[in-house]
Structure 1
Amino acid sequence: MSQISAKDVKDLRDTTGVGMMDCKKALEETGGDMQKAIEYLRKKGAALAAKRADKEAREGMVIIKIADDRKAGVILELNCETDFVARGDVFSGFAGALASLALEKGAASPEALLALTLDEAYGGESVDDAMKTMTGRLGEKLELKRLAFLTAPDGVVESYVHPGSQLGALVQLSTDKPEEAKALAKDLAMQVAASSPIVTDRSAVPADYIEKEMDIYRQQALGQGKPEQFVDKIVTGRLEKYYQEVVLTEQSFIKDANARVSEVLADFRKKHQAQVDVKAFVRYQLGQ
C-alpha cells in the first residue's frame, strides 16, 4: 500500500469537509486516488443516511433568503438530530446554500429543490445526494422538512427571523409603492411570526374551521347553563374574537395594541396615496 501523505489527507478534507481520520481511511482504501476517495466518502455518507433513516430529526433551523430587489423570497426548514449540530457553522452554511439555490432557481417545494444541483463548494452534487454526503460529514440524519417560495412582481417580499433561527416569517405585499412599503412589510413579517395568524382575511378561513369553533362555543355556552335564546349571540361574539386571533388583518398590531393591522394598512394607503394589500404569508416554527 502506498504511503498516504498528510497533504493528501488535508486536500481531501478541504474538498469534502469530512474529518481527518475518515479522509485518511478513504485514501488508504482507494490507493491514494483522490477522486475515488471522494466517491468512497460519498457512498459512506449515503450508507450512513440509510442507516439513520429511522432516527428523529427534530432539531435544525428555519432560514430565509430574499432577493436584493425584494421581489422574491424563500423560507425553508432543515432538520437534524441534535441542537449541537444545528448550531454549528457546517449545518447553517449548508442550510444557507440550499436557501440561496432555491431562491436562484425559484424552487417552490422540497421535491423541486432536492432535484437541483449545488455548486462545486458542495461537490457539484444534486441536493438529494448532498444531503446524504452531509449526513456522512455530520453523523446525523438531515431532512428538508418544508419550503415555500413567494414572488411579488407587483410589490415586495419581506421577512423576519427570530434570533436562534427557530421561527421565521415571509410576507408578500401587492403595492404600487414598493420602496415605501418595505418597512411596513418588515413589520407585518414580525407580526406574522409573533401572532401566528392562519389567513389574511376572514373570507379565507376554511368553513370547517368556523363550524368546529361555533360548535365548541355553543356547547360551552349550554354547558355553562346559558339560556337558549342567548346562545346564538354568545357564539357570534366568541366567533368575532376567534377572527381577531387567526385573521392577520383583524389582529392587534404588535407595535400598537390599540390598532388593528387593517387600520395600519389603511393609514399607509392614506399617507402614501398608495395601494397595498397582503397577498400571502408563510410562517415556520421549528418542529411544528
Structure 2
Amino acid sequence: MAAISAAMVKELRERTGLGLLDCKKALKKTDGDIDQAIEDLRKSSGMKAAKKAGRTAADGVVAVRVAEDGKYGQVVEVNSETDFVARDEAFLGFVDTVANKALADKQTDVAALMAGDLESAREALVQKIGENIGVRRIDAVDADVVGGYVHSNNRIAVLVALKGGDVELARDIAMHVAATNPQFVAPADVSEEVVAKESEIIKAQPDMAGKPEAIVEKMIGGRIKKFLSEISLSEQAFVKNPELTVGKLAAQGGAEIQSFVRYEVGDGIVVEEVDFAAEVAEQLAASK
C-alpha cells in the first residue's frame, strides 16, 4: 500500500472540501489514487452534504420582504461560505424562496420554516454548489407603516417601523440606518448601564486628570450627550440632509419612529482561523 502523505490529504481536501479524516480514509481505500478517491467520494453525495454542515458559513446575502399593505415586513439572512456562491443564481433563487415563504407564513422561527421542502432544497443546493448553506436568522416588524431597504451589494438590510408617515419616508430612514448603524431609536432607549459605563470611560481619559470635580462632571455631561446623539437614530444627522436630524425628518412627515431591524451579513459570526499544516499533522498523528 502506498504511503498516504499530508500533501496528498491536503490536495484531496482542497479539491473536495471534505474533512481530513474522510480524505485520508478515501485515499487509503484507493491506495493513494486521488482521482479515484474523488470519484468514490462524489458517489457518497449524502455524506458530502452532511460533512459540509460543520463548515462555517459566514458570507451570503440578506433579503427584505414587505407585505402589500405596507404594515408588516421581514428581513432574512442566508449564509454561504464564500462571496462567489453568494452571487450564484441558484443560491439567490433559494434565498428568494426562503424570504417569500417566510413572509407568506409570517414565520420567524428558522427551524419551523425550514422543516420539509425548504430543508430538502437546501441540502440539494449544498450538494450542487459544494458549500455549506444555511438560513441564519429572520426578524419581523409590524406597524402602521413599514419600509425596507437593501444595500446594493445585498449585505446590509434594514426594516423600519413608523407610527404615521408613509412607506417612502420609512424607506429613507431605513437607508440612513443602513449607512450609519445606530444602536437605539432614541436616547431614552439607552440603558443606565450603558450610560454609566461610558461615563466611567470618559472620566478615565487623560484630559480629565487634575480638573475640579464640578468641571469633570460638566465635561462628562457634554460628552454623554454627544455619545447618545451618535448612537441614537432620532438624534443623528440625516445622511441625505445633514441639516436635519432623523427625528425631525420623521416629525415633518407626520411620523414617529417605533423600531428598526438592521442585518449585516456575518455580523457576530466568529470564523475560526486554522493552521492547516498543524491541523493535518495533528489529525494524521491521532489516526495512526
Instruction: Please indicate the TM-score interval, normalised by the length of the shorter structure.
Output: 0.7 to 0.9
TM-score of the superposed pair, with normalisation by structure 1 = 0.73
Q: 2:141 aligned with 1:128, yes or no?
A: no
Deviation digits for residues 126-148 of structure 1, max 9, x if unmatched? Answer: x2333222211211101222210
Determine helix, strand or coil for the equivalent of 2:56.
Answer: coil
Q: 2:185 aligns with which of 175, 181, 200?
A: 200
Asked whether the 8 Å contact 1:46–1:135 carries over to 2, the reply is no
Change beyond 3 A, Cα 1:258–1:45 = farther
Structure 2 unaligned blocks of 5 or more: 1-42, 268-288
Q: 1:182 aligns with which of 144, 158, 167?
A: 167
Q: 1:286 aligns with which of 241, 260, 265?
A: 265
How far residue 186 of structure 1 moved from its aligned partner, in angstroms, is 1.1
Asked whether the 8 Å contact 1:45–1:133 carries over to 2, the reply is no
TM-score of the superposed pair, with normalisation by structure 2 = 0.73
In structure 2, give the amino acid aligned to 1:80: S
In structure 2, give the amino acid aligned to 1:51: K
Measured in 2, the distance between the counterparts of 1:84 and 1:137 equals 14
Measured in 2, the distance between the counterparts of 1:211 and 1:45 equals 55
In structure 2, give the amino acid aligned to 1:149: A
Task: Report how many residues are paired.
Answer: 225
How far residue 47 of structure 1 moved from its aligned partner, in angstroms, is 2.8
Deviation digits for residues 220-265 of structure 1, max 9, x if unmatched? Answer: 1565544333111111111111111111111111121111112112
In structure 2, give the amino acid aligned to 1:280: S
Aligned residue number for residue 243 of structure 1: 228
Asked whether the 8 Å contact 2:60–2:82 carries over to 1, the reply is yes
Q: 2:244 aligned with 1:259, yes or no?
A: yes
Aligned residue number for residue 105 of structure 2: 105
Determine helix, strand or coil for the equivalent of 2:63.
Answer: strand
In structure 2, give the amino acid aligned to 1:94: F
Q: 1:233 aligns with which of 218, 223, 231?
A: 218
Asked whether the 8 Å contact 1:72–1:150 carries over to 2, the reply is yes
How far residue 53 of structure 1 moved from its aligned partner, in angstroms, is 2.6
Measured in 1, the distance between the counterparts of 2:184 and 2:112 equals 25
In structure 2, give the amino acid aligned to 1:242: F
Where do 1:1-288 residues align within 5 Å? 46-115=46-115, 117=116, 125=117, 127-152=118-143, 155-175=144-164, 181-220=166-205, 224-269=209-254, 276-288=255-267
Deviation digits for residues 261-283 of structure 1, max 9, x if unmatched? Answer: 121122223xxxxxx22121100
Change beyond 3 A, Cα 1:60–1:44 = farther
Change beyond 3 A, Cα 1:224–1:165 = farther
Determine helix, strand or coil for the equivalent of 2:135.
Answer: strand
How far residue 210 of structure 1 moved from its aligned partner, in angstroms, is 1.4
Deviation digits for residues 133-165 of structure 1, max 9, x if unmatched? Answer: 22112111012222101222xx11111111110
List structure 1 segments (4+ residues) > 4 angstroms apart after TM superposition: 43-46, 221-225
In structure 2, give the amino acid aligned to 1:173: L
Asked whether the 8 Å contact 1:78–1:95 carries over to 2, the reply is yes
Change beyond 3 A, Cα 1:156–1:46 = farther
In structure 2, give the amino acid aligned to 1:169: V
Measured in 2, the distance between the counterparts of 1:221 and 1:237 equals 16
Measured in 1, the distance between the counterparts of 2:64 and 2:173 equals 15
Aligned residue number for residue 121 of structure 1: none
Asked whether the 8 Å contact 1:244–1:252 carries over to 2, the reply is no
Structure 1 unaligned blocks of 5 or more: 1-42, 118-124, 270-275
Measured in 1, the distance between the counterparts of 2:112 and 2:180 equals 30
Measured in 2, the distance between the counterparts of 1:92 and 1:195 equals 26
